[in-house]
Amino acid sequence: MDMFYRDWPYFPNDGPCGTSEQLVSPEKVTQPATRRIKRSGPAMTKKSKSSTASKILKLSVPSAKNTVVVEKHLNRKEERDGLQYKVLKAKRAQKKESQLLEEHDKKSREVLNQDLAVIETEKNRWEAMWDHELKATRQRVRELEEKKQDLEAFSKVLYNYRLTGIGESDVLAYMEACKPVI
């Protein structure tokens, strides 16, 4: 079999790829097959240029398979240029945009929920603090009212003592009881 592939370029009209004019030189045939590297963009190496050239050469050989490949390529090109391709492209872009908007809305909702949670926590903290302050203030008011009543009672006893001179023991008892107040 190696003999056949090594010798076939020299047979004039019966090679596997067609006539002898379409055959590739013997140097190209004896080279080992190399892996093709897919490249995108304008930068092409010698290897990718030569593989592109060999692909074009292979497709230029008339055969049923090559005809189908070329027709498929031309159909794709016509389809791309057609309105249907542009509509599909627009639909894809619209779908992607709606996905991005949905994702943005989801993120903004999450941020809003976090902000609301922080606000609610702060509100509860302040309300608890105000409740505590209010209770403390009410307690202080009660204590001050009790002291006021004690002082009013003491002032009455003292006034009576000054007027009449009676009730010295009551005055002393009130003074002992009201020491923290005075």
pTM for the full model? 0.34
pLDDT tens for 35-48 read 666 655 555 565 66
| Kind plus residue range of the DSSP H or E element containing 85 | helix 83-164
Instruction: List the domain boundaries for the chain.
Output: 84-177
Distance CA 151, CA 159 (A): 12
pLDDT tens digit string along 154-171?
888 888 888 887 777 877
Q: What is the pLDDT of residues 110-160, one digit of tens each?
A: 999 999 999 999 999 999 999 999 999 999 999 999 989 988 888 888 888
Q: What angle do CA 165, 166, 167 make, to 5 degrees?
A: 125
Per the CB < 8 A criterion, the answer to whether 171 and 157 are in contact is: yes
Q: Which helix (DSSP H) or strand (DSSP E) does residue 30 occupy?
A: helix 26-30
Cα 8 to Cα 11, 28, 61, distances in angstroms: 5, 13, 16
- Asked if residue 15 has pLDDT above 70, the reply is no
Q: For residue 9, give both structure tokens.
A: 């370029």
Tens digits of residue pLDDT in 52-87: 777 776 777 777 877 888 888 888 777 777 777 788
CA distances in angstroms from 154 to 145, 173, 175, listed in the order given? 14, 10, 8
